Amino acid sequence: MDSPAGVVRATASPGGLAAGRIIGDGTVRASTRMGSVWRWRPTRAAGIAFLMGIVVTVALALSSLALYHRNESRLLGLRVRELGLVLTATVPSIQTPLASAAELADATNGSAQKFRVFMAPYVGPGRPFASVSLWPLGSRRHAPVAVVGAKPVLASLPAQAHKFFEHAAHIRTLNVTGILNPAHPSLGYEFSTPGVERGFAAYAENPLPKNRRSKLESNSAFSDLDYALYLGRSRRTADVLVTSLKRLPIKGRQASDVVPFGNSAFTVAVTPRGSLGGSFFQSLPWIIAGFGVLLALAAALLTDRLARRRQHAEQLAGVLDRVATANREMYTEQRSIAQTLQHALLPDALPNFEGLKVSALYVPATSGIDVGGDWYDVVEADGNKVLLLIGDVSGHGLRAATTMASLRHAALAYAAQESSPATVLARLSDFVNRGEHDYFATVLCALIDVNAHRLTVASAGHIAPLLLAGDDANFVEFDVNVPIGVARKSQYLEATVSVPSNATLVAFTDGLVERRGESLDVGLARLRDAAVGQHVALDDLLAKLAADLASEEHHDDTAMVGVQWQD
Amino acid sequence: MAGLEEDGGAEVVIDTLFDPSGAAVMSVSGDLDISNAASLQAAVAAVTAQSPERLIFDLSDLRFMDSAGIAVLIGAAGEVSAVQLRGPSPVVRRVIELTGLTGVLPIES
């Protein structure tokens, strides 16, 4: 069912299928990429570095911000006091003409003419007042007797005028009133001469802007401020005389000052239009924050990179450690296998003979996984004689061990037929040289006549054995010929030496005396020195020599075989 | 030809050149022992593959040689009809004497 439908679709719109495949492919790739991004996690150290950077940044930015705000508030406080001083400075310019005019009126019994003449310079555009009028006090109905400039608004408000002048009659300072009606908002000043009954009051008036809004001129010293001027000591919106703000009360940073003004006071409140200390200090916290975040990011990235390198190095070290451990285990195992094999190829136990004690010792190398091809044998020969064989196949490892096994058995076979050491070696040499081979072996063959105290030795490239007798220790001297496996041009030669009573013969492979960087003679001398004067059992002697010479670093296996006359 | 440092610390440096008479001269310097004999074996194999008439081992800068080194020289002696040693130190000479190889590895006169 599905299959024909699929075929139909495929034939009908191959383009659609192709597009679907592309989308499918794209989706897979996109999700893979997302996966890899998702896998990326900053290291803990990087996170800590970033957090620390952010904390320091935030602290710096906040303290910078706090400093900025403190500075701004302090500056604003200074500005509002300046503004207050400017306002205070205007008091005399208002009070002095009015006080003089009031006194003039008292002196002239309210001469309108004199009042007009005196006040005329103070009234008009660009002068202190818009309107000045002279009001007699003490009458029931208050009305001005002389007016200079515009008609006072107060004159059209009898109730308010009555109240104002009734009150003002008892106050001997500059008297201020705000006529805050919506039609003609004005500010009025009054001064009446002190101590005079039924005197006169000089009254001046200045209109306020209708909506009480007035901006400070842009060239003013205070153009960087928005302000609100209130009549009185409170900051009720109803008492506002003039402001540059659309809305009151002032929100945000603000400062206010109360300026005594006659019997009343002005309260001036200001708020900065921008930054008083300059835009740089305003943006400094943000600059610090921006740089701080960038620095924190950079520090985090750097830390991340360092941490990753360290992690990588640690991982690598871990891997190397595991590999080393595995290697060590493999090495131990391999070495153990090869040693097991070699021990299997060496004689289990050496026979003892009448009047002759026999012992052998095998010391594996301290390093290297390959075992050597060292071997030894001690077998009975004709006529109460003993044939001792010791050999060392060149090379190491399984190949050397198997070659050793083959040589050993061949040597045993020849030894069973022949008791002449030189002949045994010659036959062994012929046996090896007949076939293809890429090894050689040093072999020492010694025929021991136990009863006759005689020793016949032949060597195929093998180091001479050590003969110990009493306090003497000497290497047996003979002519050495080439190792087994090397084409020989001459016969193997035998040497026969007499052996004193209770003598000990120690044959060994070169691992015992060979040390890197020194002559073989040095190693041989060391062996002789270690052996001389040792009147101990044969087993103990071999153990002592192994401990003295093979205990230090040596790369080669060592075999030792000893015989001791029991006289 | 090759400077090789092997496990165990022994270092041997092998330089090979063919002199105009057709003889290969392999200069072996340093310490030659079981830990690095394989590198000499490889170098010798490369030389004997070219069937030189004579192979001279210049051992004048060889401080030490053990039986593993001897094995390589003996192997070379089996491959090339005339193998000679040049300037072996007493230490090296002694190894050859004790192994009975003075006839197989003659010292160049």
Report the half-sphere exposure of A274 (CA within 13 A, side-chain side): 10
Would you call A558 an interface residue with chain B, using a CB distance cutoff of 8 Å? no
B96 touches chain A (CB under 8 A): no
Phi and psi, residue A120, nearest 5°: -50, -40
Query: Does B54 contact A at CB distance below 8 Å?
Result: no
Residues A255 and A353 occupy one common structural domain: no
Find the range with the poorest average confidence among A19-23, A88-92, A334-338.
A19-23
Read off the CATH number of the domain in which A119 is found.
3.30.450
Which pLDDT does position B1 carry in this prediction? Answer: 41
Q: Is residue B76 part of a domain?
A: yes
Based on the fold, state whether residues A360 and A264 are members of the same structural domain: no
B78 to chain A, minimum CA–CA distance in Å? 8
CB–CB contact A517 B31 (8 Å): yes
Is the Cβ of A557 closer than 8 Å to some Cβ of chain B?
no
Q: Name the range with the highest mean pLDDT among A212-221, A247-256, A477-486, B29-38.
A: A477-486
Q: How far is B29 from chain A (nearest CA, A)?
A: 12
Give the domain extent around B29: 2-98
User: Closest to B91 (Cβ–Cβ): which among A392, A396, A519?
Assistant: A519
Q: Encoding tokens for residue A422?
A: 């030189």
Q: Are residues A225 and A369 in the same domain?
A: no
| Distance (Å) of CA A249 to CA A209, A226, A253, A361, A417 | 18, 12, 12, 111, 132
A459–B contact, CB cutoff 8 A: yes
Is residue B93 a part of any domain in this protein? yes
DSSP, residue by residue, A324-347: HHHHHHHHHHHHHHHHHHHHHHS-
What's the residue count for chain B? 109
Domain limit, last residue, from A230, A247, A272: A272
Query: Which residue of A lies nearest to B102 if distances are taken between CA atoms?
Result: A482
Contacts of B103 in chain A (CB under 8 A): 482, 489-490
CB B12 within 8 A of CB B4: yes
Q: Is the pLDDT of residue A9 over 80?
A: no
- Does the distance separating the beta carbons of B101 and A461 come in below 8 Å? yes
Residue B7 has a pLDDT of 46
The token pair that represents A130 in the structure block: 């818009």
| Whether pLDDT at A325 is above 80 | yes
Question: Would residue B48 count as lying in a domain?
Answer: yes
Q: Are residues A265 and A359 in the same domain?
A: no
Q: Check pLDDT > 70 for residue A197.
A: no
Q: Please report which confidence band the pLDDT of residue A31 belongs to, taking 50, 70 and 90 as the band edges.
A: very low
Question: Is the same domain home to A138 and A229?
Answer: yes
Least confident segment among A214-223, A387-396, A425-434: A214-223
In whole angstroms, give the CA distance from residue A381 to residue A453. 15
Shortest alpha-carbon distance between residue B61 and chain A (Å): 13
Indicate if A268 and A348 belong to the same structural domain: no
> Taking residues A415-434, what's their average pLDDT?
91
Tokens matching residue A457: 């030795």
Q: Are A348 and A257 part of one and the same domain?
A: no
Confidence class of residue A251 from pLDDT cuts 50, 70 and 90?
confident
One domain, residues A347 and A267: no
Whether the per-residue pLDDT at A19 is higher than 70: the answer is: no
Q: Let me know if residue B66 belongs to a domain.
A: yes
When pLDDT is cut at 50, 70 and 90, the band that residue A18 belongs to is: very low
Domain boundary among A218, A238, A272: A272
Looking at residue A34, its pLDDT comes to: 44
A359 in any annotated domain: yes
Is residue A371 located within the same domain as residue A230?
no
The domain in which residue A456 lies consists of: 343-565
pLDDT of residue A552: 63
pLDDT, mean over chain A: 82
**What pLDDT, on a 0 to 100 scale, did the predictor assign at position A535?**
85
Residue of A482, A489, A553 to mutate for B, most B C-beta atoms under 10 A: A482
CATH number at residue A509: 3.60.40.10
Give A-chain residues touching B105 at CB under 8 angstroms: none
Of A483, A490, A516, the CB nearest to B10: A516
Residues of B in contact with A516 (CB under 8 A): 8, 10, 31, 33, 64, 66
- Residue B20 touches partner A, C-beta closer than 8 Å: no
| Residue A11 CB-density burial (10 A; 0-12 exposed, 13-18 middle, 19+ buried) | exposed
d(CA B21, CA A449): 55
Distance of CA A115 to the CA centre of its chain: 89
As for how many domains chain A has, the answer is 2
Q: What is the mean pLDDT of residues A169-189?
A: 79
Q: Is B42 on the interface with A (CB under 8 A)?
A: no
Are A201 and A165 in contact by the 8 Å Cβ rule? The answer is: yes
Residue A272 DSSP class? E
Whether A163 shows a pLDDT value over 50: the answer reads yes
Instruction: Given the cut 0.85, state whether the ipTM is greater than it.
Output: no
The answer as to whether B107 is a domain residue is no
What separation, in Å, do the N-terminal and C-terminal C-alpha atoms of chain B show? 26
Q: Which of A218, A240, A272 is the last residue of a domain?
A: A272
CATH, residue B65: 3.30.750.24
Are the Cβ atoms of A516 and B90 closer than 8 angstroms?
A: no
The tokens for A169 are 């009659």
By the CB < 8 Å criterion, does B58 face chain A? no
Contact A461 B33 (CB under 8 A): no
Whether pLDDT at A4 is above 60:
no
Tokens, residue A198: 């039924």
Strands B23-32 and B62-65: parallel
C-alpha closest to that of A222 among A81, A376, A426, A418: A81
pLDDT of A8 > 60? The answer is no
- The answer to whether A480 contacts chain B (CB < 8 Å) is yes
Asked if the model's pLDDT at residue A10 lies above 60, the reply is no
Angle, vertex CA A248, rays to CA A245 and CA A250, nearest 5: 85
Split at pLDDT 50, 70, 90, the class of A194 is: low
What percent of chain A has pLDDT above 90? Answer: 24
Backbone phi, psi, residue A218, to 5°:
-65, -25
Q: What is the count of structural domains for chain B?
A: 1
Q: Is residue A327 part of a domain?
A: no
CB contact residues (below 8 A), chain A span 389-428, against chain B: 392, 394-396
Chain A: nearest CA to B82, how far in angstroms?
13
Residue of B nearest to A392 (CA): B67
| Inter-chain contacts counted by CB atoms under 8 A, chains A and B | 82
Nearest to B99 among A442, A517, A521 (CB): A442
Distance, CA of A404 to chain centre: 60
CA B26/CA B40 separation, integer angstroms: 10
Residue A22, in any domain of the structure: no
- Residues A230, A355 share a domain: no
**What whole-number distance in Å separates Cα of residue A555 and Cα of residue A183?**
120
Tens-place pLDDT, residues A214-237: 776 666 777 788 888 888 888 888
Is residue A429 less than 8 Å (CB to CB) from chain B? no
Within-domain flag for B39? yes
How many Cβ atoms sit within 10 Å of the Cβ of residue A519? 18
Average pLDDT, integer, range B70-80: 86
Instruction: Establish if A449 belongs to a structural domain.
Output: yes
Contact A483 B75 (CB under 8 A): no
Whether residue A33 has pLDDT greater than 60 = no
pLDDT bucket at B6, cuts 50 / 70 / 90: very low
